[in-house]
Amino acid sequence: MAYWLYKSEPFKWSWQMQKDAGEAGTEWTGVRNYLARNHMRAMKIGDKGFFYHSNEGLEIVGFTEVCALSHPDSTAGEDPRWDCVDIRAVQDMPKPVTLKDIKANPKLSNMALVTSMRLSVQPVTEDEWIEVCRMGGLSKPPL
């Protein structure tokens, strides 16, 4: 099992929109960064992720799960370089975890959200996953 973080501007694709996509989930499209694409190519069915509202809110608001492996991004047209995965909403974060709180936590100083802020799809270590879940009010994080 691996853990990830997906960043989205809520005015383009919000946590509510992700939840409204239902059990089938939706493609995580539009990623045009090779490292983020490679992260998606490494994902497995059932991998968990944080859903992060960027630009507005700046907070982790929910949990996702990979429900379809890497495949061609439907928004890339004929360009074969770009892939995506499908993710579905699992549950709300009981208490959203802000970027400010993450940056203030020494246990999260090496988290990609702090060190590689512009990357739209990021890996999360198991220790980071557990700590952010704790901060968000979950004593038993979805593992």
pLDDT, position 118: 85
pLDDT, position 120: 94
Superfamily assignment of 3-136 in CATH? ph1033 like domains (3.10.590.10)
d(CA 83, CA 44) in angstroms, rounded, equals: 14
Token digits for 56?
């507005």
Give Cα separations from 110 to 22, 116, 117 (angstroms).
33, 9, 11
Q: Domain segments of the chain: what residues?
A: 3-136
pLDDT, position 79: 95
DSSP 7: E
pLDDT, position 92: 96
pLDDT, position 83: 97
Q: Is the pLDDT of residue 142 over 80?
A: no
Token digits for 121?
């799809």
pLDDT in tens, 93-134: 999 999 999 999 999 999 999 998 789 999 999 999 999 999
State if pTM tops 0.75: yes
pLDDT in tens, 27-76: 999 999 999 999 999 999 999 999 999 999 999 999 999 999 999 999 99
